[in-house]
Amino acid sequence: MAAVHGVRALLSLHRSALFQRSFGLIPVQLTSTCLPTRLCSATTKRNKARPEQKNCNKSLLENLHLMGVDVEMARQRQPGVFRRKSLTNEQGLAEFLQSKGASSEEIASIISRFPRAITRSTEHLEERWELWRKILNTDSEMLSVLERSPESFFRSSDNKNFENIITFLTSLGFKTKDLQRLLVKAPRIFCGSLDLTRQKVNFLKDICVELGGTNPEQFTKTVLYKNVFIFSESIKRIRTNIDILRAYLGLGNSEMLAFIQGSAAKILVLSTEYLQNNLNSVELKMVSLGCQKADIQKLFYTYPVVLYISPATLSPKLECLLKVGIKVEQILETPRVLDYSTQNILGRLEQLQEVEYNFQKNGIGILDCSQKRFLAKMEKLKL
């Protein structure tokens, strides 16, 4: 019995030393005689008893605390990780990420937000990293994406699926620079199933054919370029949103085809409820300002992004513009002024009032320009 306790004590000592060494807590020099860490995590005939499993969980928690992981957050996000009876690889994960340039804080953050990362073997991590290197050029680029979206790297254990998705997207005409953009902007695309990815593409091709398009491949690529997050949403949502917009706008096939692969692509991923509620709210607001339905339809067609803006944000923007004498017709002609925050609009209006700017004579284009151009124009107006 004393011998068993002695082995456990030795394991505990080496485990603590390894983790403190990894994160710069003490300068421990390991030799080939060191025992591997967290042997108690492996399930054997001798350690199936409940007390041993509890000890293993406690050991895991101690290791994660040493690494600076927010264990409470990790438990809430993926509690199953803490009930595992098989080996976890937090030590190997930490060493792997450190070798790629990650700091201890970044590693702790990654595990806190996606604790399943500690279940991936070092061999799997190396293989996945090499696959990512086929798209991104440097370790720092890859770490940036991984730190922002750890799920994209650790969610799937199927490296072959990841490789198949790259092959499939390449077959659609996506070049390496396009894949880089996809991986940076919407990395979760690459951790979904190949079948679902193929279904989304086929769905878009079908939409093109349904609307009389003659080049489904180009249509699909154009839409995905406009909004890669379409890959992340359900076909049902996208189809419903298309139907809602077409019914309201009363567009013919060719007009709808152009609309979808134009500015409308950006709003196809909105929650259907949110889209419908905003459509109704904008309509009510514009009618109250004297607009006809044709005016509102034109607004949605030329500037569908207005449906992204919540009613609570849109109303103050419109009111501050109308208050200084700008006509609603001018807003309809230059709807991009609504892109800017209410604070930004108010600040510009205040500066323009100081120079007695005449919106009826000069228009409102000055409100729809970069800050640098706006300041340059203000300097000329003050002369």
Give CA–CA dist 129/139, Å, rounded.
9
Three-state SS for 336-365 is: HHHHCCHHHHHHHHHHHHHCCCCHHHHCCH
Q: Decide: helix, strand or coil at residue 252.
A: coil
Q: Residue 138: exposed, middle, or buried by beta-carbon count in 10 A (0-12, 13-18, 19+)? A: exposed
- Class of 193-308 per CATH? mainly alpha
Task: Kindly report the number of other CB atoms within 10 A of residue 143's CB atom.
Answer: 19
Q: What is the DSSP string of 265-293?
A: GGGTTS-HHHHHHHHHHHHHHHHHTT--H
Could you give the residue range(s) of every CATH 1.25.70.10 domain in the chain? 193-308
Closest to 263 in 3D by CA, of 245, 236, 281, 248:
245
Instruction: List the pLDDT tens digit at each of the 383 positions of the chain.
Output: 444 444 344 444 444 444 444 444 433 333 333 333 343 343 333 334 344 344 447 888 888 999 999 999 999 999 988 887 778 899 999 999 999 999 999 999 999 999 999 999 999 999 999 988 888 889 999 999 889 889 888 988 888 888 898 899 888 888 888 888 888 877 878 877 889 899 999 999 999 999 999 999 999 989 988 888 888 889 999 999 999 999 999 999 999 999 999 989 999 999 999 999 999 999 999 999 999 999 999 999 999 999 999 989 999 999 999 999 999 999 999 999 998 999 999 999 999 999 999 999 999 999 999 999 999 999 988 87
pLDDT per residue over 135-189, tens digit each?
888 999 999 988 988 988 898 888 888 889 889 988 888 888 888 888 887 787 8
- Asked whether the beta carbons of 194 and 164 are under 8 A apart, the reply is yes
Q: What's the whole-model pTM score?
A: 0.70
Distance (Å) of CA 341 to CA 30, 138, 312, 338, 357: 57, 36, 12, 8, 21
Q: Decide: helix, strand or coil at residue 219.
A: helix
Give CA–CA dist 321/328, Å, rounded.
9
Task: Kindly report the number of other CB atoms within 10 A of residue 216's CB atom.
Answer: 17
